[in-house]
Amino acid sequence: MESNNRLGALTAFLASRARSDAAPIWIPSVWNQCGYPSILGEQDGEILVHPYRFLSDHFRYVRETSKRYAPTKATDLQNSVIYSSLVRYTTAWDYDHDGEIESGTFLRLIVLLPLLKTFGVNILYMLPVNRYSLLNLKGDIGSPYAVQSLFDLDPNLHDPLLDGMDNFSLHDELAALVEACHLLDIKAVVDFIPRVTAKNSELMKENPEWVYWIKNEALEGFAPPTIPELGFFEECTPDKLETVYRSKDTQAFLDKFTLPPNQLNPKLWEALKRRSEETGEELLTLIEQEMGITTAPAHSDWINDVQPIWTDITFLRLYEDICPQVRPYLREGQAPYVLFDTIKCNYYPGERPNEELWERLLDAIRFNLDTYGIDGFRIDIGHVLPTPLLTRMFETIRDRNPNAILISEDLFNRNHAKAAATGYNIMLGSGWNVMTDLTKDNLLSYLRELPELSIPIFACAETADTPRITSRGGVGLARMLAVFNQFLPHAIPYLTTGYEVNEEQPLNCGLGDNTNGADIPRAFFNRMTIDWTENHDMMRLLADLREFKSSKPELLRPEGFFIAESPSDVVIYGYENGEETALVCMNVSGESSVQVDLAAIRPGIDAYDIKLDSGLGSTLGDPPVSRLTLAPYQGMLLHQHNRGEMGTMQERTNNKKELILWHEFDGPGDTSIEVLEEICRLYSERNGVQVTPQVMNIIELGERLGNVKELGEGPHMAFVPADMASYADIGAYSEVPDGVVADLLADDTLASMRRNGAQYGVPVLQGNHLVLFVNRDVYETAPDSWKDIEDAAERLIARDIVPIAGDLKQSYWFVPFLSAFGGWPMVEGAPAVSTPAMKQALAFVRDKQEAGILANFDGSTELLEKFIDGRIGAIICGEWIFNYLDKKMGERLGVGSLPSIGDGQSVSMSSSIGLVYPNQSLESEYAEEILSFTRFMLSEECQLLWAAKVQRIPTNQSVLKLLAESSSPSKRRLIALLDACRPMPIHPHMIYVWIAMELGLHLLPDYTIDQICARMESKLEEKIAAAGRI
């Protein structure tokens, strides 16, 4: 399938099945981040849903949510969060309650992405997704690291819901997941396995000399030799080589190896290969039976390691010869073998690289980058690869993606400089090891290392290779370490799938094993599920931690990091920036409480606010505290800020003129950031006042504005949608003085940011209104009324053309229907969702859909595609899409007013985007500069910049007239239709009205109109009541 269109095709397929009679499925209720309303049943943390309707709604939600995120090329690793997923396990579930666990899939992992974003995840690291071997299975389903093919995917990751989707392969399913990640500004990273392969891998079948072989009789009890002269778990350094090779058991071990089958008996090898191809028999089994040899199991590269051998994988033979350093210790005629040193090709390379194998590995990397759009790799045991091979791999990756994420598996912080020099930009590091022996001394040593690291490490309580942290100290320890790991310098919070619900069952226990060899289920080898129905408190903690971290970028910089003196069993670290301080305090004892005198930590600070407490059931919001009592395994995040009258951002301007401007990002393709930065630069150069824009997604912008009054700090200005004028109280907005811009803007334009008679903002851009776009190949002129559409319907339907369509699951799209019956979402300042007009409008929409006259499609994908292709005659859509449609359709595109319904005219809402002034900034000493910049934004120069580069409608009356005169007839019509619109209501409850209306639209196919209105009213009351409690 065409690159970069997999997600669109997937969305269209799901929508096409939304009316099917597919069997419902049970899913964890916490997955329902899109707020899907048509729930068919609930029990014990699960909900029953129609699979295609749920997924169709969810994919729409992903696209809508993507508008909050500015896509980035380079990843800010200091402000990242990694989520590690074994795809088959993360979303494995008993979906039909038949007692059988179904595999997780790429499709269902997309469902989790919005949930992961609440934790701040911006890197999704997938453990191996390749087809793996079913020979010598570990557990009941086998290890994903026994990779059988570097170019094929695990067939279990195909979603059966996509059966019947033509021309859409399993490769496309992974590519669609990556596209969904990119919409949410998540980088997708996969495990790449270049050092080992399955014992019966495709590479072995093609080139048996690329792996190592032993005699059958050597298989039982096969293990690397014990070296009694050396200690436990020692690295094979050059000074130990002679000891290893002279040790008494080593020669016997080397004698177990043999030549590969194609060299041992070429004729028999070819015969067995043909037989396998013809009969389907396993080739390795035939070789074992007929030739008495088999591929050698892999083992650890550490001397005297207690890890058992890996019976399902074998090492790849990266060199055709043996390292010169060990040749003196070998007998003549020694068959190719693998031992501690040959594994570590970084230290002990041969002289003849296996160039054909190396190129095959590079081909596999190119395949991942080109086929799926992968953003990076964790290189499995990459630290033992030959440096020339690793260099070529990194050059290949960066040639296609200069900003690729490259993760080293190196287990110890001490190797950071080497990993960085090699080309990695993240490494596993020592955090996993510190967790195996959690003491104050160990944690302090770990903390002291962090500021000196060359690249960031995983800030983790557990990994896929370690036992769960809950097995070491329960939920309390897991929560405390969530706080500890969130704020470390040069360390990226790392969430192993399941950590967010305090999962107890491990994926594997190869590192830091505390099971004493117990035969317990492990997700690497067994069919298992995460318990998604319990322990959502950890999710809330992770979200709260991320919210605080994202609100304090200036404070939480590595250069402000310090480690504080602390009582026994207490670890304290923190950050300072000017007069602002944050502390993380932890009691590492699991047995006794401890008191902490906060006044003794930093000079001049006697008390701190408690921002977050890892303890369950703790009450926050108390006055600042000077002493703490920390329970066992309790951690707290504390904050102190000596603020002046205007808060932090104003304090930054005391010694130089600088204005801070917050701005939202409106989704992929939004060029407003570049325009705003250019305007700020022009103003700064001409006026000697630095205007610094700070960009964030709309959710973060809303949250930060909502905290301005409470925190007493905020920007000088924020560039926001008009409905954010309703934040005037909590954002401590200044009122705009009368007459400041009255000469530039019409009063009805100003009214779009007016609330209760007070002007809380200055509109800069306007529009956002719905119009009727028509395909002139279908309609000669835009239909004025629904009667015109109905008169044409039979003719058009016979030609397989939908007469008219819209995104009818969106509340905003529904407003014109409501208005045609005399309704409006807010009446006399109060929400109105259960009115006669609402009932008439809902009934009208349903009747027209059932008649096939009106259709519903996703407004960002299918609606536009079908319209452009001529399969829809007319669409109700926003003015913001005009330039895109004009480019695609040219003269075929027409613009008209929304069609009337009977005697009722359909009216769209409109809104504006403008400047507001948080934290009473117009009462500050910078009021003159702020208002000067405001008028500059409304100047002809800047307004035309917005019009040309962002294709939005200016608010300056003279510029608007100029634009209209120079535009095409369709664009002039588009602008003129703005006069027929009504402004979006500015009211704190408007967001809840949208939610209630959207619920009603989702319920429309399955409930009566009265039932729908009752549910809408109930949802509205629920949301308003919840807001009141907050």
* DSSP structure string for 397-423: HHHH-TT-EEEE----GGGHHHHHHHT
State the pLDDT at residue 671.
Answer: 56
CATH, range 770-907+989-1029 = 3.40.190.10
Q: Which residues contact 585 (CB under 8 A, 6 or more apart)?
A: 566, 570, 571, 572, 596, 628, 630, 635, 636, 638
- Residue-wise pLDDT for 961-1008, tens only, equals 887 777 788 888 888 888 889 988 888 888 889 889 999 999 998 889
Residue 129 has pLDDT above 90, yes or no: yes
Residue 646 is predicted with a pLDDT of: 35
pLDDT at position 329: 95
Lowest mean pLDDT among 57-66, 304-313, 671-680: 671-680
Residue 1029 has a pLDDT of 47
Average pLDDT over residues 913-924: 94
The predicted-structure confidence for 395-429, as pLDDT tens digits, reads as follows 999 999 999 999 999 999 999 999 999 999 999 99
pTM of the model: 0.74
Q: What is the mean pLDDT of residues 489-497?
A: 98
Percent of the chain with pLDDT over 90: 70
In this prediction, residues 357-380 reach a mean pLDDT of: 97
Strand (E) or helix (H) holding 983: strand 982-983
556-566: pLDDT as tens digits: 999 999 999 99
Q: Is the dihedral of CA 369, 375, 380, 384 positive or negative?
A: positive
Arithmetic mean of pLDDT, 816-839: 93
Indicate the burial class of 416 (C-beta count within 10 angstroms; 0-12, 13-18, 19 or more). buried
Range with lowest mean pLDDT among 284-288, 596-600, 952-956: 952-956
Residue 642 binned pLDDT confidence (cut-offs 50, 70, 90): low
**The two three-digit tokens of residue 12, written as one number:** 């269209």
Contact 403, 373 (CB under 8 A): no
For residues 329 and 241, is the Cβ–Cβ distance under 8 A? yes
If you average pLDDT over every residue of the chain, what do you get?
91
pLDDT over 90 at 859, yes or no: no
- Over residues 920-925, mean pLDDT: 93
Q: Which pLDDT belongs to residue 645? A: 32
Average pLDDT over residues 761-781: 93
Q: How many CB atoms lie within 10 A of CB 334?
A: 15
Phi–psi pair at 861, nearest 5 degrees: -135, -85
pLDDT at residue number 194: 97
State in words which class domain 1-195 has: alpha beta
For 444-474, the pLDDT digits (tens) are: 999 999 999 999 999 999 999 999 999 999 9
pLDDT bin (cut points 50, 70, 90) of residue 581 is very high
Q: How much of the chain, in percent, has pLDDT values that exceed 70?
A: 96
Buried-state track 383-411, b at ≥16 Cβ within 10 A, e below 16: bbbbeebbebbbebbeeeeeebbbbbbbb
Q: Can you tell me the mean pLDDT for 893-916?
A: 93
DSSP letter string, 842-892: HHHHHHHHHTTSEEE--TTTHHHHHHHTTSBSEEEEEGGGHHHHHHHHGGG
3-class DSSP state of 304: coil
Q: What pLDDT does residue 644 have? A: 36
pLDDT at 122 over 50: yes
CATH, range 647-767+911-964: 3.40.190.10
Which has the closest alpha carbon to 310: 428, 148, 194, 196?
196
pLDDT for 647 equals: 39
770-907+989-1029 and 1-195 share a CATH fold = no
Residue 876 confidence class, pLDDT cut points 50, 70, 90: very high
Domain map (residue ranges) of the chain: 1-195, 198-317+319-352, 556-641, 647-767+911-964, 770-907+989-1029
Cα–Cα distance between 380 and 145 in angstroms, integer? 9
- Superfamily of domain 556-641 in CATH is Golgi alpha-mannosidase II (2.60.40.1180)
Please, what's the largest Cα pairwise distance for the chain?
100
Closest by alpha carbon to 141, among 83, 87, 177, 191? 87
The terminus-to-terminus CA distance of the chain in angstroms comes to 48
Give the integer Cα–Cα distance in Å for 238 and 817. 79
pLDDT at residue 1016, as a whole number: 93
What is the pLDDT confidence band of residue 655, given thresholds at 50, 70 and 90?
very low
pLDDT at 651: 41
Higher-pLDDT residue of 321 and 60 is 321
- Where does residue 335 rank: exposed (0-12), middle (13-18), buried (19+ CB within 10 A)? middle
CB contact at 8 A, 676 and 642: no
Categorise residue 578: left if φ over 0, alpha if ψ from -120 to 50, beta otherwise. left
Structure tokens given for 377:
């790799």
